[in-house]
């Protein structure tokens, strides 16, 4: 029931940027990517690059940390993955950062979530300013690699997906152009 109501809305957010051919889908240099190994209810080796990849990032709604979203096509439907790092500020680089992972499977109409940040980690994350005057606020190129030690479980049914490893480069943008990098966990 949750997936039937929420999934179309979450996936439609990705389609808005795809409608305009001039819209930036990820990074100005068009070198955004995500690679990940999925095991369980979704068995895939994913390697998405631009222009087939869409990515975006922003501060979390509660103002604690950031989240980065990647979306692409998988098995005839869209799959989106969201990394939420409550202890990582926009513009900060760090090691050993706890991260929550959510997978939005449009083909299977399921939402999988690790439901906490103790199951996945950014081994290393690096953020560098993007010089792009057409973007509101301040944007950063974020690159990270990491892994999960426990699966993301289906929120409204049976099934789980283990994201055994991932690497990505995407974009995160702060709302405030005068923003300074927030707190980071460096372990």
Tell me the mean pLDDT in the region 62-79. 91
Average predicted confidence (pLDDT) for the chain: 83
pLDDT at 117: 86
Instruction: Compute the average pLDDT of residues 129-143.
Output: 82
pLDDT at 85: 96
Name the residue with tokens 């426990």.
Answer: 150
**Where residue 88 falls among pLDDT bands split at 50, 70, 90?**
very high
Q: Which of 20-29, 81-90, 127-136 has the lowest mean pLDDT?
A: 20-29
Q: Give the pLDDT score at 63.
A: 84
Give the pLDDT band (50/70/90) at residue 131: confident
Q: Look at the chain and count its residues.
A: 187
Q: How many helices (H) and strands (E) does the chain have?
A: 1, 11
The token pair at 61 is: 């709604």
pLDDT band at 1 (very low <50, low <70, confident <90, very high): very low
Q: What is the pLDDT of residue 25?
A: 83
pLDDT, average across residues 53-75 = 92
What mean pLDDT is predicted for residues 46-61? 93
Structure confidence at residue 13 (pLDDT):
45
Predicted confidence (pLDDT) at residue 29 exceeds the cutoff of 70: yes
pLDDT at position 107:
76
Tell me which of 9-13, 110-114, 150-154 is least confident.
Answer: 9-13
User: Which residues lie closer than 8 Å to 49 by C-beta, 6 or more apart?
Assistant: 31, 32, 33
In angstroms, the Cα distances linking 27 to 8, 114, 157, 186 are 25, 27, 35, 26
Q: Please compute the mean of the pLDDT values over residues 138-148 and round it to a whole number.
A: 95
């Amino acid at each position: 029931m949750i997936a039937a109501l929420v999934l179309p809305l979450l996936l439609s957010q990705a389609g808005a940027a795809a409608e305009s051919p001039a819209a930036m889908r990820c990074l100005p240099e068009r070198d955004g990517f995500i690679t990940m190994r999925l095991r369980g209810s979704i068995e895939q080796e994913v390697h998405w690059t631009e222009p087939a990849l869409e990515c975006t990032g922003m501060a979390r709604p509660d103002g604690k940390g950031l989240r980065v979203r990647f979306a692409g096509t998988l098995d005839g439907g869209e799959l989106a993955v969201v990394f939420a790092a409550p202890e990582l500020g926009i513009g900060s680089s760090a090691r050993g950062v706890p991260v929550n992972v959510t997978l939005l499977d449009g083909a299977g109409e399921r939402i999988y979530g690790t439901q906490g940040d103790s199951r996945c980690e950014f081994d290393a994350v690096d953020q560098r300013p993007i010089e792009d005057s057409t973007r509101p606020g301040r944007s950063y190129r974020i690159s990270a690699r990491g892994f999960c030690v426990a699966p993301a479980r289906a929120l409204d049914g049976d099934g789980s997906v283990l994201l055994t490893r991932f690497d990505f480069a995407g974009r995160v943008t702060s709302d405030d152009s005068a923003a300074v990098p927030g707190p980071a966990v460096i372990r």
